[in-house]
A and B are shown apart, each in its own frame.
Chain A
Amino acid sequence: MAHARALPLPDLLAGDAGGKRNGVWPDALKRLSRNRPAMIALFTLGAIFVLAALGNYVDVIQRYDPAALNYADGTKTGPSWDHFLGQDHLGRDTWARVLQGTWISLRVGLGVAAIALVVGVLVGGAAALTGSAGDNILMRVTDALYAFPDLLFIILLRAVLDGRDVPGGDVAIIIFTIAFVSWMTVARLVRGQMLSLARSDYVLAARALGASQTRIVFFHMLPNALGPVIVAVTFAIPVAIFAESALAFIGFGVAPPAASLGTLIDEGHRQIIETKWMLIFPGSVLAVLMLCFTFLGDGLRDALDPRSR
């Protein structure tokens, strides 16, 4: 593992040593804050997140019900004062739809990343710490799932869960299916990190000082292993959002009247001969999201891995 190296004890996360500041995380934050593209990306993402959240819950910002068909006002129209981003083929307000779609796509991306992080850390960590038998079993299971062709298995799983009553509905199903094929990378990464950290000097030192196993794992190893994992998870977000748009293309996206950015882009690209607006607006938001997550991921990697900058 390229990232496997002994790093200073992360005092910040060690809890009791509140005042000292010479660990990896503050340094990383400092480096991240000096990375202009990453910071721009972070602020843009924050702004989009806030706008999408407000746009889904505050009527003044949303302006129209995204499910309301105002076809009497017109369909496939361009931007106007009444409809900031125009109307779609059913007369729905594209501004409201894009806000809704952004919110759903963000939920998909972040939800997948969160599940991949939690499951990946648990499985990878468990594999690294349970000794060779547990390691073997967990990693072989991971290998088997890793062998599935991602997109094909997502489609198959989506078909299994299609139309089932699940708390959280369609979006939860989509998050689950994509997360199902996403956590293995994280698990392998965590395991590799843990294994090399276990042999590192400071873990040996901590052990010699009589720290408990749990304490070593949670306070010494995990924070140090987390850097590359966070980078990987950040990159998993745009991948998940893209995967959702592929599902939308084959008709397995969220159920109407809700729409993700993928659904909107799918609708837009079908209408491209008649109106380009339906593709341009959701497409631009998706592109901005993709680029921001990518820049942020690059920035995090540079910050957490001080060799490259």
Chain B
Amino acid sequence: MNLQGRGRLWPLMLLTAVLALIVACMGAEGENTTPDDESGTAQRIDGGDLVVQGNEPDSLDPHWSAFQPDISLQRMLWRGLYTLDENQEVQPAMAAEMPVVSPDGTIYTITLRDGLLWSDGDDLTAEDFVLGIERTCNPDNAGQYQFALTSIVGCDDYAYAEEPTDEEKAELRAAVGVTAIDDTTVEITLANPQPTFPIVLSLWMTFPVPSHLLPDPGEAWPAGPDAPEALAFNGPYVLTEYVPQDHATLAANPNWAAPDGVSPTLDSLTVRFIDDTASANNAYRTDELQFALADTTVLSALISEFGDGDEYFESVRPSTRGLQMNLGREPLDNVDVRLALSQAIDRQALVDVVASGAHQATTSWIPGFVPAGAAPDAFDSCCGFDPDSARQHLADAGYPNGEGFPSGISLLIGDSSEAKDTGAFLQDAFKTHLNIDIKIEAVDGATRADRFYSIDYDLYIGGWAQDYHDPETWVVGLFETGSFINFTNCSNEEIDQLIADNLSNSDNDARLAAYARVNELIVTTVCGVAPFWHENAHYLIKPNVVGMSENANSQDAIQAGDWIAEAWGLSE
């Protein structure tokens, strides 16, 4: 089941960015991997049909979605005023240039490029973008990423109105701080300055609405099968067919206004919805698919079958997994117990045995390629695998050789085979190295999430994927005492102080140094998590596919390089 990939993007951003004076684009050069052949020998040809594995979206409604497969497909079909390039920098897309911001930072004036058209030939105007933002704020639509627009004047009032009448709704809608000055000028008014706001304007929840087809912001977005007829598109592709649970077929949008000159060359692009990676890999073998996610269960066999760098590619995902601990429960409130658990985990063996070597073993919470992150082995000496030290810590905590350790401490895991294997590994490791018994509770994804959010667990296998390329997305809200997404009861005065002091720190070096220190504190005091690996993504790509270029962006959600699917194509 595809629960892991579900909506882990951006929710925090607004909370923090209101105060932040940072721009979220610290170059990630060198970390972007390009699975595709860069030597220039593989030239993209005109035409061809490409079939790729994907996951079925829940909805095609960009103003409602929070699910990665949704966002992946929506970015192929629509595009916002701005877009993030492979270095995570904001670049104009449908806008002609970067926004003009008022001196107090609250009024954004954005000019559209000339001659923009929807796929059906209708004019794409400022009103369409206004309507897009209004739809996300609309209470009838109940957009899951509405909170990303919190700083827009009136958006929250509109979204959270208590049982409004139609007239009240109309008034509230009119009060939302987004207006079309003329056909090509959008003006957005913020309640507070937000330097990261252009990033929001690159995201799906601000994509335009074809207002000539859907004039009312409360109107339901057509479902997949109806969408080819009922919708118009302004992205690189148009949807030509949608069969639920089966596939979506796309074709090049004749009216695509390529911001950087990249236009689709494919005759058709089919996203085949497949959840079972083993099936997808078999279909790849029989040429039914030209792109598939590699089944990491049998990774070494796949690598030798397809050849590392030939058809098999690996790329870094900005994601960390670890053993999370509820510090509100005895004996996990004792730092020595937590350190003992952390040091009892042979992370390299865990990666090799459980994940077939698919991930990067680590002791750092923030990955090394993120600003203020640390190398995977940076904390090995304090918190990495060391059975003797682990036993010593356990003895210091009052449980020499595990004696007297409370029974019934349980590890809450999901029902995927990787989660179960990880659970079995950890259970065995704690038994072998610490002589303590823990119980495993394997539950389905929704139960697991429910238990985690209500902090009803002892140990938990969880993690984080970055929302944007900045260390604050790795810590803010997660580790401060009592924060609303702090589900581990981590409470550390120094962490609290560092985060409070640096959210709005304009001295970037000092800010990064502070987050580096927070990372160190999290790891060395095991404040809620003992990181064990950074996730990598693994793909199979046919040699004649070009243009699948990765970036370490969370918008690069499902396929390799689907943040810029217009670059995909076939070579001879």
Chain A residues within CB distance 8 Å of chain B: 67-69, 71, 75, 89-92, 159, 162-163, 251-252, 255-257, 266-267, 270-271, 273-274
Q: Which of B298, B300, B302, B428 contacts A270 (CB 8 A)?
A: B298
Q: Which of B302, B420, B428, B451 contacts A68 (CB 8 A)?
A: B428
- Does B447 lie at the interface of the complex (its beta carbon under 8 Å from any beta carbon of A)? yes
8 A Cβ contacts from B397-430 to A = 415-417, 420-421, 423-425, 427-429
Q: Which of B278, B353, B451 contacts A90 (CB 8 A)?
A: B353
Q: In the complex the two chains form, is A162's CB within 8 Å of B349's CB?
A: no
| Complex CA–CA separation, A69 to B352 (angstroms) | 13
- Does B29 lie at the interface of the complex (its beta carbon under 8 Å from any beta carbon of A)? no
Q: In the complex the two chains form, is A251's CB within 8 Å of B297's CB?
A: no
Stretch of B238-246, B435-443, B469-477, B501-509 at the chain-chain interface: B435-443
Residues of the A chain whose Cβ atoms lie less than 8 Å from the Cβ of B442: 163, 255-256
A69's closest neighbor in chain B, by CB?
B428
Q: In the complex the two chains form, is B301's CB within 8 Å of A89's CB?
A: no
Q: How far is the CB of A271 from chain B (nearest CB, A)?
A: 6
Q: Which of A67, A90, A159, A271 contacts B298 (CB 8 A)?
A: A271
Residues of the B chain whose Cβ atoms lie less than 8 Å from the Cβ of A251: 1, 415-417, 444
| Complex CA–CA separation, A266 to B429 (angstroms) | 24
Sample 24 A-B pairs with CB under 8 A, ordered by A number: A67-B424, A67-B427, A67-B431, A68-B432, A69-B353, A71-B349, A89-B297, A89-B421, A92-B424, A159-B444, A163-B443, A163-B451, A251-B444, A252-B415, A252-B444, A256-B427, A257-B423, A257-B424, A257-B440, A267-B417, A270-B297, A270-B298, A273-B305, A274-B298
Q: How far is the CB of A169 from chain B (nearest CB, A)?
A: 9
Q: In the complex the two chains form, is A71's CB within 8 Å of B353's CB?
A: yes
Residues of the B chain whose Cβ atoms lie less than 8 Å from the Cβ of A71: 349, 352-353
Residues of the A chain whose Cβ atoms lie less than 8 Å from the Cβ of B564: none
* With contact pairs A68-B428, A270-B417, A273-B301 given, residues A255 and B441 touching in the complex (Cβ less than 8 Å): yes
Residues of the A chain whose Cβ atoms lie less than 8 Å from the Cβ of B354: 90
Q: In the complex the two chains form, is A162's CB within 8 Å of B424's CB?
A: no
| Complex CA–CA separation, A89 to B431 (angstroms) | 19
Q: How far is the CB of A193 from chain B (nearest CB, A)?
A: 40
Residues of the B chain whose Cβ atoms lie less than 8 Å from the Cβ of A270: 278, 295, 297-298, 417
Residues of the A chain whose Cβ atoms lie less than 8 Å from the Cβ of B444: 159, 162, 251-252
| Complex CA–CA separation, A243 to B252 (angstroms) | 47
Q: In the complex the two chains form, is B427's CB within 8 Å of A91's CB?
A: no
| Complex CA–CA separation, A273 to B300 (angstroms) | 10
| Complex CA–CA separation, A273 to B304 (angstroms) | 11
Residues of the A chain whose Cβ atoms lie less than 8 Å from the Cβ of B421: 89-90, 256
Residues of the A chain whose Cβ atoms lie less than 8 Å from the Cβ of B427: 67, 256-257
Q: In the complex the two chains form, is B298's CB within 8 Å of A69's CB?
A: no
Q: In the complex the two chains form, is B425's CB within 8 Å of A90's CB?
A: yes
Q: Which of B305, B416, B423, B443 contacts A162 (CB 8 A)?
A: B443
8 A Cβ contacts from B298-315 to A = 298, 300-302, 305
| Complex CA–CA separation, A267 to B418 (angstroms) | 10
Q: In the complex the two chains form, is B298's CB within 8 Å of A273's CB?
A: yes
| Complex CA–CA separation, A227 to B428 (angstroms) | 48
A72's closest neighbor in chain B, by CB?
B349
Mark each residue of chain B from 312 to 354: 1 if its CB lies under 8 Å from any CB of chain A, else 0. Answer: 0000000000000000000000000000000000000100111
Residues of the A chain whose Cβ atoms lie less than 8 Å from the Cβ of B356: 89
* With contact pairs A273-B298, A274-B298, A274-B300 given, residues A255 and B353 touching in the complex (Cβ less than 8 Å): no
* With contact pairs A89-B421, A273-B301 given, residues A67 and B428 touching in the complex (Cβ less than 8 Å): yes
Q: Which of A89, A256, A266, A274 contacts B440 (CB 8 A)?
A: A256
Residues of the B chain whose Cβ atoms lie less than 8 Å from the Cβ of A274: 298, 300-301
Q: Which of B301, B353, B431 contacts A91 (CB 8 A)?
A: B353
| Complex CA–CA separation, A271 to B300 (angstroms) | 11
| Complex CA–CA separation, A292 to B227 (angstroms) | 54
Max chain B C-beta neighbours (<10 A), residue from A71, A159, A256, A266: A256
Q: In the complex the two chains form, is B423's CB within 8 Å of A256's CB?
A: yes
| Complex CA–CA separation, A264 to B417 (angstroms) | 11
| Complex CA–CA separation, A270 to B395 (angstroms) | 41
Residues of the B chain whose Cβ atoms lie less than 8 Å from the Cβ of A68: 428, 432
| Complex CA–CA separation, A89 to B428 (angstroms) | 14
Q: How far is the CB of A249 from chain B (nearest CB, A)?
A: 10
Given contacts A67-B431, A257-B423, 7 further A-B contacts (CB under 8 A): A68-B428, A69-B353, A89-B421, A162-B443, A255-B440, A257-B428, A274-B301
| Complex CA–CA separation, A266 to B432 (angstroms) | 27
* With contact pairs A75-B353, A255-B442, A256-B442 given, residues A90 and B424 touching in the complex (Cβ less than 8 Å): yes
Q: How far is the CB of A66 from chain B (nearest CB, A)?
A: 10
Q: How far is the CB of B439 from chain A (nearest CB, A)?
A: 9
| Complex CA–CA separation, A27 to B361 (angstroms) | 68
| Complex CA–CA separation, A256 to B352 (angstroms) | 19
Q: How far is the CB of A19 from chain B (nearest CB, A)?
A: 55
| Complex CA–CA separation, A271 to B432 (angstroms) | 26
Q: Which of B295, B349, B424, B443 contacts A256 (CB 8 A)?
A: B424
Q: How far is the CB of B346 from chain A (nearest CB, A)?
A: 10
Q: How far is the CB of B451 from chain A (nearest CB, A)?
A: 8
Mark each residue of chain B from 252 to 290: 1 if its CB lies under 8 Å from any CB of chain A, else 0. Answer: 000000000000000000000000001000000000000
Mark each residue of chain B from 87 to 108: 1 if its CB lies under 8 Å from any CB of chain A, else 0. Answer: 0000000000000000000000
| Complex CA–CA separation, A92 to B295 (angstroms) | 21
Max chain B C-beta neighbours (<10 A), residue from A90, A91, A266: A90
Residues of the A chain whose Cβ atoms lie less than 8 Å from the Cβ of B451: 163
Residues of the B chain whose Cβ atoms lie less than 8 Å from the Cβ of A90: 353-354, 421, 424-425
| Complex CA–CA separation, A168 to B416 (angstroms) | 23
Q: In the complex the two chains form, is A162's CB within 8 Å of B425's CB?
A: no
| Complex CA–CA separation, A121 to B424 (angstroms) | 41
| Complex CA–CA separation, A90 to B351 (angstroms) | 11
Q: In the complex the two chains form, is B425's CB within 8 Å of A69's CB?
A: yes
| Complex CA–CA separation, A89 to B425 (angstroms) | 11
**5 cross-chain pairs, A with B, having the tightest CB-CB distances, nearest first:** A251-B415, A163-B443, A255-B442, A69-B428, A273-B298
Residues of the A chain whose Cβ atoms lie less than 8 Å from the Cβ of B302: 273
* With contact pairs A67-B427, A90-B425, A256-B420 given, residues A163 and B441 touching in the complex (Cβ less than 8 Å): yes
Residues of the A chain whose Cβ atoms lie less than 8 Å from the Cβ of B440: 255-257
* With contact pairs A71-B349, A90-B353, A163-B443 given, residues A271 and B297 touching in the complex (Cβ less than 8 Å): yes
| Complex CA–CA separation, A75 to B356 (angstroms) | 11
* With contact pairs A90-B353, A251-B444, A274-B301 given, residues A69 and B424 touching in the complex (Cβ less than 8 Å): yes
Residues of the B chain whose Cβ atoms lie less than 8 Å from the Cβ of A159: 444, 447
Q: How far is the CB of B349 from chain A (nearest CB, A)?
A: 6
| Complex CA–CA separation, A75 to B353 (angstroms) | 8
Q: How far is the CB of A56 from chain B (nearest CB, A)?
A: 18
| Complex CA–CA separation, A203 to B451 (angstroms) | 58
| Complex CA–CA separation, A91 to B421 (angstroms) | 11
Q: How far is the CB of B225 from chain A (nearest CB, A)?
A: 24
Q: How far is the CB of A4 from chain B (nearest CB, A)?
A: 45
| Complex CA–CA separation, A157 to B3 (angstroms) | 20
| Complex CA–CA separation, A266 to B295 (angstroms) | 15
Residues of the B chain whose Cβ atoms lie less than 8 Å from the Cβ of A267: 417
Q: How far is the CB of B280 from chain A (nearest CB, A)?
A: 13
A159's closest neighbor in chain B, by CB?
B444
Q: How far is the CB of B366 from chain A (nearest CB, A)?
A: 29
Q: How far is the CB of A164 from chain B (nearest CB, A)?
A: 9
| Complex CA–CA separation, A90 to B297 (angstroms) | 11
Residues of the A chain whose Cβ atoms lie less than 8 Å from the Cβ of B424: 67, 69, 90, 92, 256-257
| Complex CA–CA separation, A159 to B442 (angstroms) | 11
Max chain B C-beta neighbours (<10 A), residue from A67, A92, A162, A267: A162
| Complex CA–CA separation, A274 to B298 (angstroms) | 6
Mark each residue of chain B from 435 to 467: 1 if its CB lies under 8 Å from any CB of chain A, else 0. Answer: 000001111100100010000000000000000
Q: How far is the CB of A247 from chain B (nearest CB, A)?
A: 10
